[in-house]
Amino acid sequence: MSAMPLQSISILGATGSIGRSTLDVVARHPGRFSVCAVAAGSNVEALARIAAQHGVRYAAIGDAGRASELRRRLREFGSRAEVLAGAEGLIGCATLPEADCVMAAIVGAAGLGATIAAARAGKKLLLANKEALVAAGPVFLAALHAGGGALLPIDSEHNAIFQCLPPGSRGNLGVRGIRRILLTGSGGPFRVRSRRELAQVTPAQACAHPTWTMGPKISVDSATMMNKGLEVIEAHWLFEAPPEAIQVVVHPQSVIHSMVEYLDGSVIAQLGNPDMRTPIAQALAYPERIEAGVGPLDLFRVGALEFKAPDFERFPALRLAYASLERGGSAPALLNAANEVAVSAFLARRIPFLEIERVIEATLQGAATGPIRSLEDVMEADRLGREHALRQVARLEAAPA
Ligand code: NAD
Ligand code: MG
């Protein structure tokens, strides 16, 4: 390998599933990457341990009330990292002058401010935080354009699509000779369950994904198929694709991570074992290729690949996501906010599984939408969506079915 300049990385959401996979890839290439900063929400112990292990200069904690506890923990682990805290601390981490690259892997709208700040600062941005793009699409893209940095998608499907596109290509799909994007999804842990069975599922069952290991929120999103819905909206903004040109394909083996269909009939796919270290390594080293710790794909063991049409009747969350995209403006931000509220209520056992989609639907029906022109518009839509959804959750708790 040629001698590359050391790339300094700031990891937002370092204690999570994507954060840890990123640290794993980075640790395999000590001469190539270094970690200058790590940020997390509230897990002080895990953050301090990571900060010490990777010798970072800054550690940021979203929950500002835990800053002094973080300082104490860092000292215990022998780290001299400077502590940043609260929303400003996360933004500080996302815009550090010494960071060449930012991994945006905070879960949910909590990551919005820092992710957009990294885009505006022109950092090479590795985007895992799909909720930021769903809620704030046009605002995020304007920040990215103003900053002039590179954007590399980490979500495995979008990373696959990126790899299947002509290098450096821009513009709408037609200009690039593309007919459709084929967005694959495993179908989640409940792919073949009936509605009646779905009514009974528990948080533990929803979090046990058949092919991917992920954080709890995205695992529940996979079980409702809202994850695929959010990914349709994500693909819309990333690839300038109209909703009707994005086809969801249920593919239980999770070997093909997505495909691009061209006007001449060619379909190009990206394959690999389901391991997030592949898209993370692809994005970190782009346009080069590096070892990710992922074993070779054993096609003989896979044997057969299946493809099925998505079932909008059993999984209405997918329909709601398409509908919010058609409605436009702040509708996807409302959808995202209501989903976050409903998923955390389900994980806390406050509402049953099938009420997740009802909370979202009622929010989309009840809350007014407006244009998304600024981060303030996004924050306002997010607040409104949460308020409506929380009221729905409280009503459901008061009058159980
Ligand atoms: P996770 O729950 O494992 O980790 C979430 C991280 O966000 C943690 O480090 C946590 O401390 C941090 N965080 C949470 N709330 C915060 C707050 N208020 N302020 C600051 N930090 C906060 O989640 P994950 O599975 O790693 O997912 C992270 C993001 O990547 C999500 O947006 C998810 O949709 C996306 N993603 C994940 C996967 C996957 O395989 N896990 C795949 C594709 C996309
Ligand atoms: Mg995905």
Please, which residues have CB within 8 angstroms of residue 376's CB and are 6 or more apart in sequence?
A: none
C-alpha dist (Å) from residue 363 to 109, 175, 319: 17, 37, 15
Is the confidence at residue 154, as pLDDT, over 70? yes
Cβ–ligand 1 contact at 106 (below 6 Å): yes
Is the confidence at residue 1, as pLDDT, over 60? no
128 with 18: CB under 8 angstroms? yes
Total residues belonging to the chain: 401
Q: What is the DSSP string of 178-238?
A: EEEEEEEE---TTTT--HHHHTT--HHHHT--SS----HHHHHHHHHTHHHHHHHHHHHHH
- Residue 360's pLDDT band, with cuts at 50, 70 and 90, is very high
Closest alpha carbon to 274 in 222, 332, 210: 210
- Residue 399's pLDDT band, with cuts at 50, 70 and 90, is confident
Centroid of ligand 2 to alpha carbon of 278 (angstroms): 13
- State the closest ligand 1 atom to the C-alpha of 218, by its place in the atom list counted from 1: 34
Query: Which mutation among 10, 15, 17 tests ligand 1's pocket best, with the greatest number of atoms within 8 A of CB?
Result: 17
Average pLDDT rounded to a whole number, residues 198-202: 96
Centroid of ligand 1 to alpha carbon of 344 (angstroms): 14
pLDDT tens-digit series, residues 35-86:
999 999 999 999 999 999 999 999 999 999 999 999 999 999 999 999 999 9
Q: What is the pLDDT of residue 5?
A: 79
The ligand whose atoms approach the alpha carbon of 209 most closely is 1
pLDDT tens-digit series, residues 276-306:
999 999 999 999 999 999 999 999 999 999 9
Is the confidence at residue 401, as pLDDT, over 80? no
Q: What is the pLDDT of residue 376?
A: 97
Average pLDDT rounded to a whole number, residues 222-235: 98
The ligand whose atoms approach the alpha carbon of 160 most closely is 2
Q: Whole-angstrom Cα distance, residue 149 to residue 146?
A: 9
b/e code 287-297 from CB counts within 10 Å (16+ = b)? eeebebebeee
Average pLDDT rounded to a whole number, residues 300-317: 97
Which of the residue ranges 124-133, 164-173, 210-219 has the most confident prediction, judged by mean pLDDT?
Answer: 124-133
Centroid of ligand 2 to alpha carbon of 72 (angstroms): 37
Which amino acid belongs to residue 13?
G
Q: In what order do the strands lie in the sheet with 151-153?
A: 82-85, 58-61, 33-40, 7-12, 101-104, 124-127, 151-153
Is the confidence at residue 3, as pLDDT, over 90? no
Closest alpha carbon to 216 in 108, 320, 324: 108
Average pLDDT rounded to a whole number, residues 347-376: 97
Q: What is the pLDDT of residue 400?
A: 58
- Burial of residue 141, with CB atoms counted within 10 A of its CB: 0-12 exposed, 13-18 middle, 19 or more buried: middle
- For each of the domains in the chain, give its residue range(s) and CATH number, in order of start: 7-149 (3.40.50.720)
Q: What is the pLDDT of residue 209?
A: 86
Cβ–ligand 1 contact at 128 (below 6 Å): yes
Better-predicted residue by pLDDT, 209 or 198: 198
Is the confidence at residue 231, as pLDDT, over 80? yes
Look up the pTM and report it.
0.97
Q: What is the DSSP string of 323-381?
A: HHHHH-TTHHHHHHHHHHHHHHHHHTTSS-TTHHHHHHHHHHHHS------SHHHHHHH
Q: What is the pLDDT of residue 2?
A: 53
Which residue's CA is the nearest one to ligand 1's atom 7?
Answer: 106
Which residue's CA is the nearest one to ligand 1's atom 23?
Answer: 215
Pairing label, strands 178-185, 256-262: antiparallel
Q: What is the pLDDT of residue 132?
A: 94
Helices 130-147 and 226-239 cross at an angle (nearest 10°) of: 10
- State what percent of residues in the chain have pLDDT above 70: 99
Any idea which residue has 């086809």 for tokens?
247
Q: Whole-angstrom Cα distance, residue 171 to residue 28?
A: 36
Is the confidence at residue 159, as pLDDT, over 80? yes
pLDDT tens-digit series, residues 6-16:
999 999 999 99
Average pLDDT rounded to a whole number, residues 114-130: 98
Which residue's CA is the nearest one to ligand 1's atom 27?
Answer: 107
